[in-house]
Amino acid sequence: MSVHAAMFGGSDMPSKTRPGPEMLDEYVRRTVAGDRNALQALHAVLSPYVRDSAACLFGNGGDADIITDEVFADVWRLAHQYQPGGAGVPAWVLGVAGQHTMSRCRSDTNARVSGGGAGGAGRERTSHHSDVGRSGPALLSLTDIHRPK
């Protein structure tokens, strides 16, 4: 069973409420071409799964929402690395999310070790994705400046 099938109810077939694997591939292709609406469509479909995985590590507070939007900013930057025909878009996005959350965990651990307190309390969280809001539509503000040269 593919990751797409596991995430979306045991079928690789699209339904009226979710796009199929081909449409998700198309969203990524359009994201690579700079289509922020395609990124927003990916966010609409996959953000609940990304948020759930972030919430498992960081709790259900605002951190999970912030991390979710940071992950989709990473998806914007890294979309050119997606390989169609592999495990599929959901698996790739969750892989990006895993890399991002591991980086956040390392950052939080380093902050605790250097005196930032448990969970980074007392320190201001900074992110190079600070222009990304919590609601997905803010993803429309991403530009090519947010991509590697």
Asked whether the predicted pLDDT for residue 126 surpasses 50, the reply is: no
Calpha distance 103→119 (Å, rounded): 14
- The pLDDT of residue 123 is 37
Question: How much is the pTM?
Answer: 0.67
The CATH code that applies to domain 17-123 is 1.10.1740.10
Please determine, for residue 131, whether its predicted confidence score (pLDDT) is greater than 50. Answer: no
- pLDDT reading at 142 higher than 80: no
Which residue pairs from 13-18 have beta carbons closer than 8 angstroms and sit at least 24 positions apart in sequence?
Answer: 18/45
In this predicted structure, the answer to whether residue 116 has a pLDDT above a threshold of 60 is: no
Alpha helices in 33-61 (DSSP H): 36-58
- Which tops the pLDDT comparison, 139 or 121? 139
Of 53, 42, 37, nearest to 97 (Cα)? 53
pLDDT at 115 exceeding the cut of 50: yes
